Structure 1
Amino acid sequence: MIDQKNSNINAKNTSNGNSSTNSQETTIRFLSYNENNFEEKELKTLDKLTDLFKSTQINWVDIVGTHDLDLLNNASKIFSIHPLIAEDIITTNQRLKIEYFPDYIFIVLKAINYLKDEVLELEQVSIILGKNFVFTFQELKPNQFNQIYERIKSSKGRVRKLGADYLVYVLLDVLVDNFFIILEDYGDRLDTLQETLIQDPSPETLHAIYEFKKEIIKIRKATWPLREVISQLGKMDSDLINDSMRIYIRDVYDHVIQIIDTIETFRDMISGMIDIFMSSVSNKMNEIMKVLTIIATIFIPLTFIAGVYGMNFQNMPELAWKWGYLTIICVMVVIFVGMIIFFRRKKWI
């Protein structure tokens, strides 16, 4: 059993906190393949797994449901994996990281799921790469790697012709591509939010913008440290990674950078939308204040005239005049109409 870690690259902590993990049944799928042969089995335990391993083929064990500590400890004993690895796998709020051991490489990543009602969910995915084997541990269903199963089973692409390091590349590529799919949908949602904001800058729209911002931040927490993990994997000096694979890993790294750039663009757009909302609210308030000011301005001379003739002086000739009341009313109307015309010419109303 290996007790010494050679390198440990930690990234930001991206907590998922899913309470549904413990209620899911653990499933184990075993694949053994090379260019000419393919074998697939559904397992209940790992007890006889070593008997299924073939040294001349790539052996892939995919475990969905990481709450079974006994199963993980059993895997650690059978394959001489450090017991702390099992602890890291079952701790689903683990930081994204990559650790190098003499006989294997351990990687912790975050995968993204888009559930019904546009609910975003992150799950932890752990990968162990050995000489001719790969272990994958997924926290939740559905299985992220079903499409890879089909590619291996139907012998599509180069995955059957290359080694375990290429399988890890394919796994990473699928996880990263899922982010692209989600972000494409988020781009459409952001465009819709922008149109809604222009047409109806209501508190409900602002709430939707802030909810969208929270989801973008969640994705950012999952992808930002991924950049360092993929970079370290590509630079790692290990016999487990063929030099010809490094160009593929760099391709995944470029995709991660593109995702991060897209997320940063979304964040800038969201900040701009919040500024637009605040400006819209301010403009509405200014319009209201302008209307109230115009009304008050119109009534200032009218109130002055009414106040003058409301004073209790004895000698006010207009009070005894036959046409006094009508004249004052007409003067008020003329003042009112004149001020309205003046305001319209100034384009204040």
Structure 2
Amino acid sequence: MAGTISIGDVSSIPPLSSFHWPGRSGERPVATPSKHGRIVDCAVYVDGLRLWDQCTYKNALAEVRERGQGFVWLGLLEPGMELMADVAETFGLHSLAAEDAVKARQRPKLERYDDVLFLVLRTVQYLEHELNSVAEIVDTGEIMVFTGPDFVITVRHGEHGELGGLRKALEAEPAQLALGPGAVLHAVADQVVDTYVAVTADIEEDVDAMEEEVFTPANKLQIEAIYQLKREVVELRRAVKPLALPLQVLTHDTTLPLPKEIRRYLRDVADHHTAVTEQILDFNESLSALINAALAKVSVQQNMDMRKISAWAAMAAVPTAIAGIYGMNFDFIPELRWHYGYPIVIGVMVLLCTGLYANFRRNKWL
């Protein structure tokens, strides 16, 4: 970690009992599921330390603004319009960003609304599968991050990409959380890009295995499996590549409300993202070459099959032609009434077919 970070005097933080929460005295508000979405977690952080297990986001934000320090981290899972509208009104989020957070299926992007940043990231997950299958290989989801001066809101869509472990890891490093909401934004982006690295490593193994199958003469790889993997790589590229521009803005735009230290961390994330993007492009080129190789292999196999069929047809044509001639209804055909005519004709047929077979074998048609 670059630089030295001071988290302040922990002893100066008031005890939990001194916090003022609206409602009955001594009652601890908790986040509750909603039929229009779910609040996964909500907490107040001051100097990098978590001061409350769970709380309603309205009370948490009121306490932070009354104290003038710290920030609220609210985690949402697939919120509906009703829940997201209330969150947007409470935290002052722009209606367009709130609508995007509900609808999902957004392209990775970074938007700024005054002092609020809205970052959209696509999450990916590798699905185990058989090499020759045409099953889905990459599953995608979304994580959206709102950051303001005193809050950070993470919105997740999809079964994977959960942030519970990330929150615990950050809480174990108060110095990092002390940097504010930007530290959460960096941690989320870092975790997502690390997932990209892991997924590309798994796909690389698939590509290597397919290359071995294609160029092994005895194996017959279904070309549909290569097409399926190429389609999944295209989906992965669509999820990963557009994040390059938001990361570039986050690392180079000094007017954004982000600490300098966070921008330094984001540069490392951007470097990893660039490496993953280049690797995905290599996958696309490799799979295109594999498809061409597989098609060429199929074409060669078809040519070999056609030569075999033609060879057998040629051998069958000789006795067929002779039998056809002697099947004509003419009275004067050579050797027609000769005692040894039949075995001699049969012998000629066998001799000619044996010669053709030997010739085809010598030319590797059979």
Partner of 1:5: none
Mark the CA change 1:58 to 1:294 in structure 2 (over 3 Å): closer, same or farther.
same
User: What is the deviation of 1:195?
Assistant: 4.2
User: What is the deviation of 1:226?
Assistant: 0.8
Partner of 1:106: 118
Q: Does 1:201 align with 2:212?
A: no
Contact 1:201 1:281 in 2 (8 A): no
User: Normalising by the residue count of structure 1, what TM-score does the alignment of the two structures yield?
Assistant: 0.81
Mark the CA change 1:164 to 1:213 in structure 2 (over 3 Å): closer, same or farther.
same
Q: Does 1:51 align with 2:62?
A: yes
Q: Does 1:80 align with 2:97?
A: no
Contact 2:146 2:153 in 1 (8 A): yes
Q: Deviations over 1:150-175 (max 9, x none)?
A: 2223227x524534323321211111
Q: Read off the aligned partner of 1:90 and give its amino acid letter.
A: V
Compare 178-187 and 146-155 and name the one that shifted more: 146-155
- What's the % identity of the aligned pairs? 26
Mark the CA change 1:71 to 1:309 in structure 2 (over 3 Å): closer, same or farther.
closer
Partner of 1:290: 307
Q: 5 Å matches for 1:142-181?
A: 144-155=162-173, 158-181=175-198
Q: Does 1:316 align with 2:333?
A: yes
- Residues in 1 aligned to 2:233 and 2:68: alpha-carbon distance in whole angstroms: 44
Partner of 1:17: none
Q: Could you say what secondary structure the match of 1:125 adopts?
A: strand
Q: 1:63 aligns with which of 37, 52, 76?
A: 76
User: What is the deviation of 1:40?
Assistant: 4.2
Q: Deviations over 1:248-283 (max 9, x none)?
A: 222222222222112212222222232233223222
- Residues in 1 aligned to 2:240 and 2:170: alpha-carbon distance in whole angstroms: 27
- Residues in 1 aligned to 2:69 and 2:241: alpha-carbon distance in whole angstroms: 37
Unpaired runs of 5+ in structure 1? 1-20
Partner of 1:331: 348
Q: 2:285 aligns with which of 258, 268, 273?
A: 268
Q: Could you say what secondary structure the match of 1:289 adopts?
A: helix
Alignment root-mean-square deviation, CA: 2.8
- Residues in 2 aligned to 1:200 and 1:174: alpha-carbon distance in whole angstroms: 39
- Residues in 1 aligned to 2:318 and 2:294: alpha-carbon distance in whole angstroms: 38
User: What is the deviation of 1:52?
Assistant: 3.7
Q: Read off the aligned partner of 2:54 and give its amino acid letter.
A: E
Partner of 1:14: none
- Residues in 2 aligned to 1:119 and 1:324: alpha-carbon distance in whole angstroms: 70
- Residues in 2 aligned to 1:230 and 1:177: alpha-carbon distance in whole angstroms: 14
How many residues of Structure 1 are paired with residues of Structure 2 in the alignment?
A: 323
Contact 2:121 2:144 in 1 (8 A): yes
